[in-house]
A and B are shown apart, each in its own frame.
Chain A
Amino acid sequence: MQHELAHLGNGAHAFATQMLGSVDDAADAVHDALTTALQRPEAWDASKGTLKTWFMRVVRNRCIDMIRLRKPSADEVDELVDSALGPEESLLIEQRDRALQVALARLEDAQRQIIVLSDYVGLSYREIAKVLDVPAGTVMSRLHRARLALKKEFIADDE
């Protein structure tokens, strides 16, 4: 289980970063989720879904808790862009990846999350529906709209 969780860590961190807009807060959320997973492994019911799906739900719930605890900010998206362009991150993330982060940051929260879950974490539509708690039949249309929005952001950047 630990090996699989370590493998899921980066995807979970990317997902949490999209939800929280902060690399450090996202790391805390993943750390808390790992703690939950290791301390209460019986909470994962294999008959209800894969470890990946369950773990992403734990991460999402932890992010929601963290968002509730902190003061809402109208500049959240700007903060995400700024953090993506911060000096520390810029040393670690290449130009192409920063462009991707900036484009993602300009999308709505739900659009960012669904793109990361699908294309970065690699979840199926059914798994995405479970993680985001949305009807399975709506995932394709939500994801398609999100991708078109991301494509538009890239085109806007190129211009």
Chain B
Amino acid sequence: MMNEMEQHVGEMLSGYIDGELTQQQRQRVEQHCQQCAECGETLEELKLLKQRVAAGKLSIFGEDKWREDMNNPSVQTPRSVGWIMFIAGILVAGAVGLYVFISDPSMPVWTKLMLVAIYGGLAVLLYSVLRQRLLEQKTDKYKDVEI
């Protein structure tokens, strides 16, 4: 039966070159590689491989490409600004429409009341559904699970 020093260090070679081992593990790798030519050779090859990937050009672009991308106004404008403008527009249009509707002398009062009941009812239903959805989203314990 092999003692610990005689066993190949395997994946710890990668941990060693990445600086992810404890002091004790590092010592074990170093001592083993001094005795085991196979692991010593693999360690050197993996070091060169890591350097080769790090020095490689795996993207054809430079940093300027991403700076230009980010300077695009459509990228920089926060989405929240769009929502605020959209909701503000809807509210202003609704307020103006309501004012025109109420102050319109050509429409009988009972017609106005009926329309207010229909649209008011729809608004209450919409609010109720949206509120329920928001509450479900907040309390959903699986919402952070990414597929």
Most buried by A among B18, B67, B78: B18
How many residue pairs link A and B with beta carbons under 8 A? The number is: 120
A10 contacts B61, CB within 8 Å?
A: yes
Q: Determine if A23 is an interface residue (Cβ-Cβ < 8 Å).
A: yes
Give the chain B neighbours of A144 by CB distance below 8 A. Answer: 10-11, 13-15
Most buried by A among B13, B14, B63: B14
- With contacts A31-B69, A144-B10 taken as known, whether A120 is within 8 angstroms of B76 at the C-beta atoms is no
In Å, the complex CA distance between A30 and B78 comes to 18
- Distance A92 CA – B69 CA, assembled complex (angstroms): 20
The answer to whether A13 has its CB under 8 Å from any CB of chain B is: yes
From B15, B49, B57, B58, contact of A151 by CB (8 A): B49
How far, in Å, is A101 (CB) from chain B's closest CB? 7
Taking CB atoms, residues of chain B closer than 8 Å to A122 are 54
Nearest CB on A from B4, distance (A): 18
Q: Determine if A10 and B56 form an interchain contact, defined as CB atoms under 8 angstroms apart.
A: no
Give the complex CA separation of A103 and B125 in angstroms. 59
B41-61 contact mask (Cβ, 8 Å, vs A): 1 or 0: 000011001101110111111
Does B104 belong to the interface (CB within 8 Å)?
A: no
Nearest residue in B to A26 (C-beta to C-beta)?
B59
Q: What class of interface size applies to chain A in its complex with B?
A: 35 or more
B146 at the A interface (CB under 8 A)? yes
Taken together as a complex, chains A and B put the C-alpha atoms of A39 and B82 apart, in Å, by 11
Shortest distance between the CB of B24 and any CB in chain A (Å):
15
Residue-wise, chain B 124-136 has the 8 Å CB interface mask toward A (1 for contact) of 0000000000000
Question: Is B62's CB within 8 Å of the partner chain A?
Answer: yes
Q: Measuring CB to CB, which residues of chain A are less than 8 angstroms from any residue of chain B?
A: 2, 5-11, 13-14, 17-18, 23, 27, 30-31, 34-35, 38-40, 61, 89, 92-94, 96-97, 100-101, 104, 115-116, 118-120, 122, 124-125, 133, 140-141, 143-145, 147, 150-151, 154
A to B CB contacts below 8 Å, 28 in the list: A2-B67, A6-B64, A9-B65, A9-B66, A10-B58, A10-B62, A10-B66, A14-B59, A27-B61, A35-B74, A38-B70, A97-B56, A100-B58, A104-B58, A115-B53, A119-B54, A122-B54, A124-B18, A125-B18, A125-B20, A140-B12, A140-B18, A140-B20, A144-B14, A147-B46, A151-B46, A151-B49, A154-B49
Which 9 residue pairs of A and B lie closest in terms of their CB atoms, listed nearest first?
A: A9-B66, A14-B58, A144-B11, A119-B53, A144-B14, A13-B59, A10-B59, A6-B66, A97-B57
